[in-house]
Amino acid sequence: MTAALVRTLGDFDLAEELVQEALLEAIEHWPREGIPEKPGAWLLTTARRKALDQLRRQARYRDKLAQLEGAANLMRDDTAEGDDRLRLIFICCHPALSREAQLALTLRAVAGMTTAEIARAFITSEATIAQRIVRAKRKIVEANIPYRVPAEADMGERLDEVLAVLYLMFNEGYLATGGERASRRDLAEDAAWLAGLMVRLMPEEPEALGLLALMRLHLARADTRFDDAGNLILLQEQDRSRWDQERVASAMVLLQRAASLRRTGPYQIQAAIAACHAEARTWAQTDWRQIIALYDALIELSPSAVVQLNRAIARRYLEGAEVALSDVEALAEALDGYYLFHATRAELLRDLARESEARQAIARALELTANPAERALLQRRLGN
């Protein structure tokens, strides 16, 4: 809905406001009158009517009013949602905007994430994210950035940002950084759907293939990640017989296609790591030596403290807790504000029978995560 309105109005703030008003009207009417046969069309029609009402009251929008009234197919039932949302992603990722602004605006306008959720994803303040979004919207208007998918020759300069947005969107859906729900499966599935559109748009782009493969591999085990009470089930404890093998197979095909293009990238390597887990019939059969080698390649291509932390976790299972803890401790300054650093450190300290230090690390991890399932897991460990 937001994408369709932005396409015609060229105004992010107005589009978002109209969508919110339409949803509020649905909350008011649907409990009394029942959900309409085509709820999407109902919402879009309501948003269009509210746009007309609002624009009629604003003389400075007369030209936009003419556009809206003349767009007979704007809110047709078969609105090409995929096309609209891809256009919106590309406009948000225009090179005229800073990378930070591109990511924040796209997560807000396309993924519908709140400012607080985006701030947690970037490990920064809500005020900073809000300023980035406001400045990005203003820049789009001032620069008169066109609402369209760019020509193929111009796609490359936006590809990294588009894929980064979809990756962040997926991660927030797969394991939420806050809110009442531990995960938002709909958001993760939506990110995978948009990644699929990107693959159809750029079928010879190996990183788009790699990202879609990564998402499918994670979604293949989504049904086994939580028990009936909503508690997190760690990878080593999941029922692998319930993993979606059709999704795993489709991801493997995507990885093979990407490999044939001979341009390795970070998403392909992350997908290869996920594939190692998917191929292992049991936790004990996991090929940790191969996983560590893949992390080495990932650090070479895209160095980060979080990747180094993941590599250290893999070393725990191959070389022991003492070796892994040495790697983790070296990341203390970079990752002190990251809950997984402290949770990982706690596990390693427990392996080494340093119980008091482990409990302190768990307490610190609890301070840093708002995810209910992660908090419950840490609290259980703290109680043991």
Tens of pLDDT along the chain (384 residues)? Answer: 888 888 777 777 888 888 899 999 999 999 999 999 999 889 988 988 888 877 666 655 556 555 555 554 444 443 455 667 888 888 888 888 888 888 888 888 888 888 888 887 777 889 999 999 999 888 888 888 877 777 776 777 788 888 988 998 899 888 877 667 788 888 899 899 999 988 988 899 999 999 999 999 999 999 999 998 889 999 999 999 999 999 999 999 999 999 999 999 999 999 999 999 999 999 999 999 999 999 999 999 999 999 999 999 999 999 999 999 999 999 999 999 999 999 999 999 999 999 999 999 999 999 998 888 899 999 998 876
pLDDT of residue 1: 84
How much is the pLDDT for 77?
Answer: 40
Check residue 72 and give its pLDDT.
43
* Alpha-carbon torsion angle 3, 6, 7, 11, nearest 10: -160
Please tell me whether the overall predicted TM-score, pTM, comes out greater than 0.95 for this model. Answer: no
From the candidate CATH numbers 3.40.640.10, 3.90.1170.50, 1.25.40.10, 3.40.309.10, the one assigned to the domain spanning 287-384: 1.25.40.10
Contact yes or no for 362/384 (Cβ under 8 A)? no
Q: How far is CA 26 from the centre of its chain?
A: 27
Query: What's the first-to-final CA gap in the chain, in angstroms?
Result: 49
- What are the pLDDT digits (tens) for 31-59? 999 999 999 889 988 988 888 877 666 65
Q: How many helices (H) and strands (E) does the chain have?
A: 20, 0
Task: Round to whole Å and give the CA distance between 312 and 329.
Answer: 10
CA-wise closest residue to 368 among 119, 125, 120, 182: 120
Radius of gyration of the chain (CA): 23
Tell me which residue has tokens 């999407």: 40
Report the pLDDT value the prediction gives residue 66, as an integer from 0 to 100: 58
Residue 265 CB partners (closer than 8 Å, separation 6+): 206, 207, 210, 301
With H, G, I as helix, E, B as strand and everything else as coil, classify residue 369: coil
The pLDDT assigned to 184 comes to 85
- CA-nearest of 380, 364, 384, 360 to 372 is 380
Query: Both tokens of residue 205?
Result: 């782009």
What pLDDT does residue 75 have?
45
Q: Provide the pLDDT for residue 249.
A: 96
Asked whether 121 and 172 are in contact (CB, 8 A), the reply is yes
* DSSP code for 226: B
Q: Which residue's entry shows tokens 């759907």?
A: 193
Tell me where in the chain the CATH 1.25.40.10 domain(s) lie. 287-384
Comparing CA positions, the residue from 164, 159, 180 lying closest to residue 117 is 180
Contacts 24+ apart (CB under 8 A), 5-10: 5/47, 5/51, 6/88, 6/91, 6/109, 6/147, 7/74, 7/84, 7/87, 7/88, 7/147, 8/64, 8/67, 8/68, 8/71, 8/74, 9/51, 9/64, 9/67, 9/68, 10/64, 10/141, 10/147
Q: 180 in the Ramachandran plot: left (φ > 0), alpha (ψ -120 to 50) or beta?
A: alpha
- DSSP type of residue 352: T
